Amino acid sequence: MKKLPPALRNKYFIVLASFFFLMVFVDKHDLLTQIRLKNSVNRLKHDKEYFEKEIEKAKEDRLIIEQNKEKFAREKYHMHKQDEEVFVIEKKD
């Protein structure tokens, strides 16, 4: 005991160091778990923003479709009247 530095012989230091070790490395809510959870929350927030934008785009598309159903059917599904012919022109990249 005499060879240890005075700080290591102090019972308060030992308790504090033990508590710190337990909280950072051993506890259920340790530091690494908190970092992983924070990254997960950030990723989920980013995904939420992305899907909210996609929902807005879908609502706009639905509104356009409801306003002009015939145009949508002709462009998207190549529908035509009986006396018409449809020519589909595809662009090559």
Q: What is the pLDDT of residues 45-66, one digit of tens each?
A: 999 999 999 999 999 989 988 9
* pTM as predicted: 0.57
Strand (E) or helix (H) holding 22: none
Q: What average pLDDT does the segment 13-24 reach?
A: 89
Which residues does 80 contact at the CB level (< 8 Å), separation at least 6? 74, 86
pLDDT above 80 (res 4): no
Q: What's the pLDDT at 81?
A: 82
Q: What's the pLDDT at 29?
A: 85
Q: What average pLDDT does the segment 78-93 reach?
A: 82
Q: Is 29 helix (H, G, I), strand (E, B) or coil?
A: coil
